[in-house]
Structure 1
């Protein structure tokens, strides 16, 4: 059975974190992971397993995003992503 969960979080990134680190972190999960963010008044959604999607979202500290994970390990993927995005 495939699970789907979502959560809105406020990003707290450190200067040492990069989108490449984030990309490597989520590649090990089978779940599809999407991030929704308001960019200049338009809601954007990107599959986080796509490096281009990550670049287009222009993630910054204090951004509020909605994370949606769908798949057999969705809960684990969401927890790992929350831990990464809330580092300081």
Structure 2
């Protein structure tokens, strides 16, 4: 049985953080990890394990996003992503 968790997070990145670091952080998790963001009135969703998906979302400080994790380690993955996106 697969565990699914989600949380809406307001991004607070510091200047030293990069999309590559986020991508590397989540590769160790078995969970499928998706991020949803409202971009100019349209909801966009990207698989966080895809660098191209991350780039297309154009994450910026103070963005509000929804993180959805599904899989055996979904809780751990969500905690790690939340910690990374709220670095300040």
TM-score by length of 1: 0.99
1:51 corresponds to 2:45: no
Matches within 5 A, 1:51-70: 51-70=51-70
Provide the aligned C-alpha RMSD in A: 0.4
Q: Distance in 1 between matches of 2:62 and 2:51?
A: 21
Structure 2: gaps (5+ residues): none
User: Number of paired residues?
Assistant: 88
Q: Distance in 1 between matches of 2:4 and 2:12?
A: 24
Aligned to 1:37: 37
TM-score by length of 2: 0.99
Task: Give the Å deviation of 1:19.
Answer: 0.2
Structure 1: gaps (5+ residues): none
1:86 corresponds to 2:48: no
